[in-house]
């Protein structure tokens, strides 16, 4: 697992480290890493370092100081570096002296705006040291104008400026980085909301904060974690011992949701899948291995239920949901099951206390259930999980999974191809399969989200896909995470 730490936690660690290591030492380590990564990018993009042009965007604080010291490193490598000072009276003093001494060129904004425009638009690479951990709100106008002129690769120092470091929210102009070099550990802004996209490839550098950071605020599962968690049958297993999945989904109007959710359960684990509902014929035709029946009351025993996709919110859907919640086994409730739970509080009483319930809302379903998501997706999911005593998986480009005890994991998508109709139905089937296999609900939801997103990426391979193609790529995605686990064992 990879950790993610909030600004408050990073600041606390920083204070403890400053007691034994001077601030300047930490800044040099940070800046050195920015310089090295920038030199690598120059080589990748232009074939050389020496003789190339780099522009620094330098704000009022230590983030600008990092950029200036990175500039010193690049000057020593023969790069022509221009620093555009956006708050000339508050520029990091030592960094500026060192930069001048190393032969760097300085332009002041707003006085030399024209020169700054030329430097940025003709640079082979631009370093964003406008603002870092103290950043609030969008880029201010002079910085936003300069960022708009960037054509070469853009390296953000610590956090792309204009992105809220703690929530990833972007409320206006922001830096869209190719690479973000960050220190000690990832920040929420790198993995959440629009910040996940603005950060580009995140490169974490050890500057000595490591042990002082403590337990992370959020975690990311990597492929090896998912591969290690994915259920695999053993020699003693048969079709029942691996956990039977039940799917209560679909309706006369939406049989496809049933076919997709059931198919995901079939492909996620071996063992057995049961289906109960009005789409039994459609499910049987597409997935002959599924034991399908028309009524929830004839469904037989299962170890976990998936309920909701395409279910409808009428009396029949309500009855199915209440029946499933009373079964006393883990449940993944998606789509109309969430809408029903949001509309009718009495339905919660049907739930066997303490049986795990995983809710998988998108933003609009979340709003019905627990109010507007707002800018802080982690706080919203955490609050809802605590209040409902459920695992809450909040869908999106970055999927946030909160457990009732406050643990949160995030899955940051590689691309947006999984944003296709029916893709959520596939996700719910995957979660149900992992729940039935006995994977802990919070990890089951996180692991399913990761494999789902990977399957979307693999299936798309650069072209649009439908949910059926995403579903068909699930076995490839499972093979990939299992291979990653085997490689890291
Ligand atoms: N953690 C670590 O261990 C280490 C951290 N280090 C580095 O220190 C950085 C944090 O530095 P920092 O605290 O000096 O503040 P920083 O982010 O540069 O902001 C400066 C000022 O910008 C302003 N401002 C705010 N929002 C703005 C906006 N939207 N657009 C424009 N301006 C905006 C605001 O001032 P205002 O103008 O509002 O008065 C704010 O005070 C950190 O990210 C990392 O790079 C490393 O050096 C070594 C080890
Ligand atoms: N911009 C995006 N980038 C990556 N994944 C996305 C994006 N938007 C949505 N997704 C994913 O696509 C799926 C959509 O689910 P959902 O909204 O329930 O669709 P449906 O109801 O049509 O099945 C979720 O897994 C979600 O995380
Ligand atoms: K920055």
pLDDT tens for the chain, 489 residues: list them.
999 999 999 999 999 999 999 999 999 999 999 999 999 999 999 999 999 999 999 999 999 999 999 999 999 999 999 999 999 999 999 999 999 999 999 999 999 999 999 999 999 999 999 999 999 999 999 999 999 999 999 999 999 999 999 999 999 999 999 999 999 999 999 999 999 999 999 999 999 998 899 999 999 999 999 999 999 999 999 999 999 999 999 999 999 999 999 999 999 998 999 999 999 999 999 999 999 999 999 999 999 999 999 999 999 999 999 999 999 999 999 999 999 999 999 999 999 888 999 999 999 999 999 999 999 999 999 999 999 999 999 999 999 999 999 999 999 999 999 999 999 999 999 999 999 999 999 999 999 999 999 999 999 999 999 999 999 999 999 999 999 999 998
CB 31 less than 6 A from any atom of ligand 1 = no
To test the pocket of ligand 2, the residue of 395, 412, 465 to mutate (highest count of ligand atoms within 8 Å of its CB) is: 395
Q: How far is CA 11 from the centre of its chain?
A: 23
CB 61 less than 6 A from any atom of ligand 1 = yes
CB 411 less than 6 A from any atom of ligand 1 = no
| 3-state SS, residue 417 | coil
Distance CA 286, CA 304 (A): 22
Order of strands across the sheet that contains 218-220 = 2-4, 218-220, 408-412, 398-402, 391-394, 357-359, 331-333, 304-307, 245-248, 273-276, 291-293
Which structural domains are found in the chain, ordered by start? 2-219 (3.40.50.10260), 223-488 (3.40.1190.20)
Question: Which DSSP letter does residue 133 get?
Answer: T
CB 429 less than 6 A from any atom of ligand 2 = no
Please choose, from the candidates 173, 169, 166, 114, the residue with its C-alpha nearest in 3D space to the C-alpha of residue 143.
Answer: 173
CB 466 less than 6 A from any atom of ligand 2 = no
Please name the residue whose Cα sits nearest to atom 21 of ligand 2: 424
**To 10 degrees, the CA torsion angle through 21, 27, 28, 32?**
130
Contact predicate 441/435, CB 8 Å: yes
CB 209 less than 6 A from any atom of ligand 1 = yes
For the chain, give the longest Cα–Cα distance: 81
Contact predicate 318/312, CB 8 Å: no
How far apart are the CA of 134 and the centre of ligand 1, in A?
A: 4
How far apart are the CA of 104 and the centre of ligand 2, in A?
A: 47
How do strand 408-412 and strand 398-402 relate by DSSP bridges? antiparallel
CB 124 less than 6 A from any atom of ligand 1 = no
List residues bridging with 202 in a β-sheet. Answer: 180
To test the pocket of ligand 1, the residue of 132, 186, 188, 212 to mutate (highest count of ligand atoms within 8 Å of its CB) is: 132
Distance CA 277, CA 198 (A): 43
Looking at residue 210, its pLDDT comes to 80
CB 147 less than 6 A from any atom of ligand 1 = no
How far apart are the CA of 157 and the centre of ligand 3, in A?
A: 4
Please choose, from the candidates 421, 420, 417, 363, the residue with its C-alpha nearest in 3D space to the C-alpha of residue 394.
Answer: 363
How far apart are the CA of 302 and the centre of ligand 2, in A?
A: 27
Distance CA 378, CA 53 (A): 40
Looking at residue 20, its pLDDT comes to 92
Binding-site residues for AMP, please? 395-399, 424
Please choose, from the candidates 191, 182, 193, 164, the residue with its C-alpha nearest in 3D space to the C-alpha of residue 411.
Answer: 191
Q: Which residues, 6 or more positions from 141, have their beta carbon under 8 angstroms from its beta carbon?
A: none
Using only C-alpha atoms, what is the Rg of the chain? 26
Distance CA 298, CA 304 (A): 16
Contact predicate 443/229, CB 8 Å: yes
How do strand 201-205 and strand 273-276 relate by DSSP bridges? unpaired
Of ligand 1's listed atoms, the one at least distance from the Cα of 140 is 30
CB 158 less than 6 A from any atom of ligand 1 = yes
How far apart are the CA of 464 and the centre of ligand 3, in A?
A: 33
Instruction: Spell out the SS3 assignment of 432-471.
Output: HHHHHCCCCHHHHHHHHHHHHHHHHHHHHCCCCCCHHHHH
How far apart are the CA of 50 and the centre of ligand 1, in A?
A: 30
Of ligand 1's listed atoms, the one at least distance from the Cα of 134 is 17
89's tokens: 């009276």
Residue length of the chain: 489
Distance CA 146, CA 148 (A): 5
List residues bridging with 273 in a β-sheet. Answer: 245
Please choose, from the candidates 243, 213, 455, 425, the residue with its C-alpha nearest in 3D space to the C-alpha of residue 333.
Answer: 425
Q: What is the DSSP string of 322-356?
A: HHHHTT-S-EEE-THHHHHHHH-GGGGGGSPTT--
Of ligand 1's listed atoms, the one at least distance from the Cα of 14 is 3
What pTM does this model have? 0.94
Please name the residue whose Cα sits nearest to atom 40 of ligand 1: 134
* Complex confidence, ipTM: 0.95
List residues bridging with 292 in a β-sheet. Answer: 275
Please choose, from the candidates 97, 102, 137, 143, the residue with its C-alpha nearest in 3D space to the C-alpha of residue 120.
Answer: 143
How far apart are the CA of 129 and the centre of ligand 1, in A?
A: 8
User: Could you identify the residue written with the tokens 């904060």?
Assistant: 209
How far apart are the CA of 258 and the centre of ligand 1, in A?
A: 50
Question: Which ligand is nearest to the Cα of residue 92, counting in written order?
Answer: 1
How far apart are the CA of 418 and the centre of ligand 2, in A?
A: 6
Of ligand 2's listed atoms, the one at least distance from the Cα of 425 is 23
CB 35 less than 6 A from any atom of ligand 1 = no
Binding-site residues, please? 62-66, 128, 132-138, 158, 161, 257, 310, 362, 395-399, 424-425
Contact predicate 185/5, CB 8 Å: yes
Please name the residue whose Cα sits nearest to atom 36 of ligand 1: 60
Contact predicate 332/415, CB 8 Å: no
Please name the residue whose Cα sits nearest to atom 25 of ligand 2: 424
- Counting Cα atoms < 13 Å in the Cβ hemisphere of 250 gives 29
Question: Which ligand is nearest to the Cα of residue 141, counting in written order?
Answer: 1
Q: Residue 231: what are its φ and ψ, rounded to 5°? A: -70, 135
């Amino acid at each position: 697992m990879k950790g993610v730490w909030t600004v408050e936690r990073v600041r606390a660690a920083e204070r403890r480290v400053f007691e034994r290591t001077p601030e300047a030492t930490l800044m040099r380590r940070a800046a050195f890493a920015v310089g090295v990564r920038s030199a690598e990018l120059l080589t990748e993009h232009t074939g050389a370092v020496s003789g190339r042009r780099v522009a620094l965007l330098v704000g009022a604080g230590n983030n600008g100081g990092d950029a200036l010291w990175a500039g010193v490193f690049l000057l020593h490598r023969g790069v022509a570096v221009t620093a555009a000072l956006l708050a000339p009276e508050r520029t990091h003093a030592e960094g500026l002296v060192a930069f001048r001494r190393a032969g760097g060129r300085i332009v002041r904004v707003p006085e030399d705006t024209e020169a700054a425009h030329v430097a940025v638009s003709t640079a082979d690479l631009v370093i964003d040291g406008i603002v870092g951990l103290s950043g609030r709100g969008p880029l201010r106008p002079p910085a936003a104008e300069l960022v708009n002129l960037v054509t070469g690769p853009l390296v953000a120092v610590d956090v792309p400026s204009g992105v809220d470091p703690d929530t990833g929210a972007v409320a206006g102009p922001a830096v869209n980085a190719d690479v973000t070099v960050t220190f000690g550990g990832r920040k929420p802004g790198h993995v959440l909301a629009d910040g996940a996209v603005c950060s580009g490839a995140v490169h974490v550098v050890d500057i000595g904060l490591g042990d002082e950071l403590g337990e992370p605020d959020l975690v990311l599962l990597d492929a090896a974690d998912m591969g290690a968690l994915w259920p695999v049958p053993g020699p003693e297993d048969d079709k029942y011992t691996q956990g039977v999945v039940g799917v209560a989904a679909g309706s006369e109007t939406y049989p496809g949701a049933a076919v997709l959710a059931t198919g995901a359960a079939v492909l996620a684990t071996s063992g057995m899948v049961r289906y109960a509902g009005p789409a039994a014929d459609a499910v049987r035709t597409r997935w002959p291995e599924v034991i399908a029946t028309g009524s929830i009351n004839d469904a037989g025993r299962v170890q976990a239920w998936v309920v909701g996709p395409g279910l409808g919110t009428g009396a029949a859907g309500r009855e199915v949901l209440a029946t499933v919640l009373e079964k006393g086994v883990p449940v993944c409730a998606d789509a109309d099951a969430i809408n029903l739970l949001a509309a009718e509080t009495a339905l919660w009483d049907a739930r066997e206390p303490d049986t795990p319930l995983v809710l998988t809302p998108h933003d609009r379903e979340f709003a019905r259930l627990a109010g507007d998501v707002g800018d802080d997706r982690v706080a919203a999911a955490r609050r809802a999980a605590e209040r409902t005593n459920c695992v809450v998986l909040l869908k999106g480009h970055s999927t946030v999974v909160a457990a009732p005890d406050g643990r949160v994991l995030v899955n940051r998508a590689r691309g947006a191809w999984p944003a296709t109709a029916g893709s959520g139905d596939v996700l719910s089937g995957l979660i149900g399969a992992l729940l039935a296999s006995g994977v802990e609900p919070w990890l089951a939801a996180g692991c399913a989200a990761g494999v789902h997103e990977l399957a979307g990426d693999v299936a798309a391979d650069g072209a649009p896909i439908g949910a059926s193609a995403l579903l068909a790529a699930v076995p490839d995605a499972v093979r990939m995470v299992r291979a990653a686990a085997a490689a890291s064992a």
